[in-house]
Structure 1
Amino acid sequence: MSGFTAPALEYGHLAPLIFVFLAGTFGVGVEATVPRRFRPTAQLVLVAIGLIGALITTIGNWVGALAQPDTGFFIGVEGSLAFDGPTYFIWATLIVLGALSILMFGERQLGGGATPFTPQAASLPGTPAEREATALKLEHTEVYPLAMFSLTGMMIFPAAADMLTLFVSLEIMSLPLYLLAGLARRRRLLSQEAALKYFMLGSFSSAFFVMGMALIYGYAGSFDLGIVAEAITQGAGSYSLVVGGIGLMAVGTLFKVGAVPFHNWTPDVYQGSPTVVTGFMASCVKIAAFGALLRLFFVAFGGARWDWQPFMAVIAVLTMFVGAIIGIVQDDVKRMLAYSSIAHAGFILTALVGAAQGEAIMGMTSVSSALFYLAVYGLTTVGAFAIITMVRNEGGEVTRLSAWAGIGRRNPGIAGIFALFLLSFAGIPLTSGFIGKLAVFGAAWQGGFGWLVVVAVLASLVAAFFYLRVIVVMFFSDAGDEEDGVEVVMPSWRTTLTIAVALVTTVGLGVLPNLLLPAASMAAEFLR
């Protein structure tokens, strides 16, 4: 009888994950032991320590790996996680965006001393229990450990080197988000509806993902992405299992990025969730999901590329145009940005479709261009949602587009920053969004998909209409009598810092893209 052999774990390389996970774990302990009035400060300190430690160790491990290219990048944790360039780039991006998003969870200045979250989730909306909790200024500080646990899943998801780890991390990422989506202080019924829709549809997508895993396992006899790739290359077994498995697993990942036709949850969840949570989801979840999608299709399914490529091309076209066209008719700013998010998912998919790993265009590959796009899109997105939290009346946030009329004349600074973010989404030159689109479209063009680039440019022009529409409303429309109470409320340092970082990076990476492009280029190769 053989003895038990302890697994070999590379704790130094796991340090970023350990920092984030322990911050969430200790946060749960804070909820159980620390007096209520001290919990917000204690949670913020834990989040700061966890994310700063994670960022330092991520950069340190990446620099150390680049110094030893032959041995620095490897697949560890008993074959479960890949410590390679894309992993480190995505981790650093997620940590920065997670910090900017979670920082706003404790914003009180905008809400008259109250955070964006309901004071007591267990009480029914409009009941005496809810009013009593509001009067007592109760606060759900559990949102901090929930966000940290979700961020842990986001970091594991794109680094997973086997399908079991991929699925487990998908659930770790998703389950806390289902809770966070239903905790809005205002319009609680809408928030709870958003959480329920997200949970139900997310459960269905996870079921498709697991069924796809089963089919791939039936074909390859392993969940390891490298072994799956080898089996597909050798052509062993029934190929129909591969096609079915790829299709079902694609459903699970495309749902998370908000691609058509798996996008229906996006507008409702973005609109109903607390805006700070929407910013967290719109930036971090999309990056993690696209990172996993790229690894899955380039590493495991690269040998079947000619089978999934036409499918992904159709998905990309549908996603771009559905997001762009339906976004035009939206009269709610958060729903508009939801459809904008859908359109951007289509733009990023052009990089996946257009060029295989290693086919460079102006120094950028399909992988590196997608990573750069995800980073700059995430930074702009979190800044845009931060500004949405500032437009308010006596009832809270105001997201009706008509209510934003005249804001540009009453507060030109904030409106100008929001306009700049919108122009970046549209891909206007001298913004980071322009460089991102240039990179992914260039990768698609180099890969022989010129027609897809033409379609993407047309979709960008359509999408630009509703971005410009918001700018026109803010600067050139007069507010109606019913909108007189709408104003831009100045936030605390938390939201101000988030907007400042987003503004500097949106402009800075548009003017000087080489500040980030080399890092994306160094992260262009997946380990197999």
Structure 2
Amino acid sequence: MTTPIPQAVIDMVPVYPEMVLLIGASAILLIDMFLKEGQRSLTYLLSLATLLVAGVLSYNDFVTGHTVYTFNGMFVSDPMANLLKVFTYLTAGLTLVYSRQYADDRGMLSGNLGGEFYVLALFTVLGQMVMISGSNFLSVYLGVELMSLSLYALVALRRDNHKATEAAMKYFVLGALASGFLLYGISMLYGATGTLDIRGVSAMVAGGTVNKTVLIFGVVFLVAGLAFKLGAVPFHMWVPDVYEGSPTAVTLLLGGAPKIATFAICIRLLVEGLMPLAFDWQQMLMILAVLSLAIGNITAIAQTNLKRMLAYSTIAQMGFVLLGLLAGVAGTTDRTGASAAYSAAMYYVITYVLTTIGSFGMLMLLSRSGFEAENLADLKGLSKRNGWFAVVMSALMFSLAGVPPMMGFAAKFSVLTAVLGTGQIWLTVLAVMFSLIGAFYYLRVVKVMWFDEAADESPIVVKADMSVALSLNAIAIVLLGVLPGPLLAACLKAMTITLNT
């Protein structure tokens, strides 16, 4: 006679990846205490191993295609969550690979700091996992704060650097304000519906028995909090300053995987929880999208600091993500069309993250001890110093600009197709116009690398793991642009199953 598996154990199965992350981060913190100077490579390898194990577990959950709720409905494991988690682990892993030499050169892995960089990075990822799988307002907020607190500490990790300290203060103050917006919006929704369960809120709102005025106010504060996390205009003030002031390794942690997690909670809160109010939040997203595309692309032209340029690029790219989100409800109630629009936005987020981490990875590759490669002039003549890395950076810039056959073109095309399908031709034309404007500053980087004389002719020294990772990153950008079908199909499958469960 077989012994039945306790229900408590069954409830834990969907959170195995998060448990691996938590146990791994805690164990690495303890192990690192006993490591001497020069032994921090063990911390690095253990961090990558932790992400790999968690990634395999999430991928296995994605392949099964099941949707499972646990912890009294506060946590959900569904195809959308698991696919986004796989790319979050991938992004975090690449970030650690790209950051290793940079962080070591700047003393971020030695002395009193030890392996805190890796541990805080893992806790940042853990917060993102909770955000992605949160099916209750409280669990979503818990994930947001776990991620945010870890990022605040990471931005200020170089305590002897006044720019990093200033960036940490700005990020902390404005981040606290955004969290307040989010929490106040949640409290108003709870006051109106009497529940914190996202599906419960959706049912109450659809029933039409709650005060719509209170709901609308709650949605306004909720969208404001989400817009801050995305870096959308007019909640973008922190992005260029924090990106520039943070160590580039931390900028990569800020500008990469958190966008995937924020996209997930946009789907959870707005689509799964507040779809009956779609007309109201769609109008807000439309304004945010247009402003982000305009201000992000136009302001980026004036930037000579590459980190600030990529920050404004992020703002503009988030405008496209918002277009995909609003296209799922604009002018149509067809669930198939909605799934296609949301999957296009999902594909766009993945594209943005893979391209952006490669771009910041190139900046770290060109940096060395005592020198930060963060100005446009620092890329002059890169093709003469190392032709292959010039090709890599060119591919990344072409993708961000949306030049075929790069992945960025497929992403922009899928989002614009979704918007055009709603009948909003003016919005599609506007997005194309601002994309053409934005192409200027991306192509300017390519011009500087290939046609300007090198200001610095010193050889580029790079570790093998970073060289291989950057090369594979660029190759993936090209291949996923030439053959976007499999990933687009995976996004559509994940979104369709998730929205119809």
The TM-score, its normalising length taken from structure 1, stands at: 0.88
The match for 1:505 among 451, 476, 480 is 476
Structure 1 residues 451 and 6: alpha-carbon distance in aligned structure 2, compared to 1, 3 A threshold: same
The match for 2:221 among 241, 245, 248 is 248
Show CA shifts across 1:167-221 (max 9, x none): 1100011111111112249x81111111111111101100111110110001110
Confirm or deny that 1:91 pairs with 2:91.
no
The match for 1:181 among 133, 155, 173 is 155
Confirm or deny that 1:261 pairs with 2:234.
yes
Structure 2 CA distance for aligned equivalents of residues 45 and 462 of structure 1: 42
Cα distance, 1:38 vs structure 2: 6.5
Structure 1 residues 24 and 206: alpha-carbon distance in aligned structure 2, compared to 1, 3 A threshold: same
Residue aligning to 1:44: 44
Cα distance, 1:508 vs structure 2: 0.6
1:13 aligns to what SS in structure 2? helix
Confirm or deny that 1:297 pairs with 2:270.
yes
Residue aligning to 1:489: 460
Residue aligning to 1:126: none
Structure 2 CA distance for aligned equivalents of residues 45 and 391 of structure 1: 23
Structure 2 CA distance for aligned equivalents of residues 151 and 501 of structure 1: 22
Cα distance, 1:77 vs structure 2: 2.1
Structure 1 CA distance for aligned equivalents of residues 30 and 369 of structure 2: 36
Cα distance, 1:9 vs structure 2: 5.8
The match for 1:386 among 361, 367, 370 is 361
2:196 aligns to what SS in structure 1? coil
Query: Residues 106 and 369 of structure 2 are in contact (CA less than 8 Å); yes or no, is this contact kept in structure 1?
Result: no
Residue aligning to 2:447: 472
Cα distance, 1:83 vs structure 2: 1.5
1:75 aligns to what SS in structure 2? strand
Confirm or deny that 1:168 pairs with 2:142.
yes
The TM-score, its normalising length taken from structure 2, stands at: 0.93
Query: Residues 257 and 289 of structure 1 are in contact (CA less than 8 Å); yes or no, is this contact kept in structure 2?
Result: yes
Confirm or deny that 1:158 pairs with 2:152.
no
Query: Which range is displaced more, 272-281 or 176-185?
Result: 176-185
The match for 2:374 among 382, 399, 413 is 399
Confirm or deny that 1:455 pairs with 2:426.
no
Structure 2 CA distance for aligned equivalents of residues 358 and 59 of structure 1: 29
Query: Residues 8 and 77 of structure 1 are in contact (CA less than 8 Å); yes or no, is this contact kept in structure 2?
Result: no
Structure 1 residues 18 and 119: alpha-carbon distance in aligned structure 2, compared to 1, 3 A threshold: closer
Q: Which runs of 5+ in 1 are unaligned?
A: 67-71, 121-132
Cα distance, 1:313 vs structure 2: 0.4
Letter in 2 for 1:99: G
Show CA shifts across 1:308-343 (max 9, x none): 111110110001111100000001011101110110
Structure 2 CA distance for aligned equivalents of residues 261 and 178 of structure 1: 21
Confirm or deny that 1:353 pairs with 2:326.
yes
Structure 1 residues 74 and 105: alpha-carbon distance in aligned structure 2, compared to 1, 3 A threshold: same
Structure 1 CA distance for aligned equivalents of residues 412 and 384 of structure 2: 31
Cα distance, 1:518 vs structure 2: 1.9
1:82 aligns to what SS in structure 2? strand
Structure 2 CA distance for aligned equivalents of residues 402 and 382 of structure 1: 20
Structure 2 CA distance for aligned equivalents of residues 422 and 184 of structure 1: 29
Cα distance, 1:499 vs structure 2: 0.6
Cα distance, 1:37 vs structure 2: 3.2
Structure 2 CA distance for aligned equivalents of residues 9 and 203 of structure 1: 36
Show CA shifts across 1:439-480 (max 9, x none): 11111121232221111111101110111111122222235x
Structure 2 CA distance for aligned equivalents of residues 226 and 489 of structure 1: 53
Cα distance, 1:359 vs structure 2: 4.6
Equivalent residues in 2 for 1:404-419, closer than 5 Å? 404-419=379-394
Query: Residues 61 and 79 of structure 2 are in contact (CA less than 8 Å); yes or no, is this contact kept in structure 1?
Result: no
Cα distance, 1:103 vs structure 2: 2.3
Structure 1 CA distance for aligned equivalents of residues 109 and 391 of structure 2: 33
- The count of aligned residue pairs is 491
The match for 1:218 among 167, 179, 191 is 191
Residue aligning to 1:60: 60
1 or 2, which has the higher helix percentage? 2
Show CA shifts across 1:475-511 (max 9, x none): 22235xxx4x464623112322331231121011011
Residue aligning to 2:261: 288
1:365 aligns to what SS in structure 2? helix
Structure 1 CA distance for aligned equivalents of residues 221 and 17 of structure 2: 31
Letter in 2 for 1:514: G
Letter in 2 for 1:372: Y
1:390 aligns to what SS in structure 2? helix
Letter in 2 for 1:504: I
Equivalent residues in 2 for 1:98-109, closer than 5 Å? 98-107=92-101
Query: Residues 116 and 274 of structure 1 are in contact (CA less than 8 Å); yes or no, is this contact kept in structure 2?
Result: no
Letter in 1 for 2:167: A
1:183 aligns to what SS in structure 2? coil
Query: Which range is displaced more, 79-88 or 164-173?
Result: 79-88
Query: Residues 385 and 460 of structure 2 are in contact (CA less than 8 Å); yes or no, is this contact kept in structure 1?
Result: no
Letter in 2 for 1:266: V
Letter in 2 for 1:342: I
Cα distance, 1:50 vs structure 2: 1.4
Structure 2 CA distance for aligned equivalents of residues 20 and 254 of structure 1: 28
Query: Residues 40 and 106 of structure 1 are in contact (CA less than 8 Å); yes or no, is this contact kept in structure 2?
Result: no
Structure 2 CA distance for aligned equivalents of residues 488 and 359 of structure 1: 55
Letter in 1 for 2:474: L
Structure 1 residues 488 and 440: alpha-carbon distance in aligned structure 2, compared to 1, 3 A threshold: farther
Cα distance, 1:140 vs structure 2: 2.9
Identity of matched residues, %: 30
Letter in 2 for 1:152: L
Residue aligning to 2:3: none
Letter in 2 for 1:98: A
Q: Which runs of 5+ in 2 are unaligned?
A: 1-5
Show CA shifts across 1:326-367 (max 9, x none): 000001011101110110000110011112386546x97122
Structure 2 CA distance for aligned equivalents of residues 344 and 487 of structure 1: 34
Cα distance, 1:432 vs structure 2: 0.4
Query: Residues 209 and 251 of structure 1 are in contact (CA less than 8 Å); yes or no, is this contact kept in structure 2?
Result: yes
Structure 1 CA distance for aligned equivalents of residues 385 and 80 of structure 2: 44
Query: Which range is displaced more, 365-374 or 217-226?
Result: 365-374
The match for 2:312 among 339, 364, 376 is 339
1:396 aligns to what SS in structure 2? coil
Structure 2 CA distance for aligned equivalents of residues 40 and 286 of structure 1: 29
The match for 2:414 among 427, 439, 445 is 439
Cα distance, 1:42 vs structure 2: 3.0
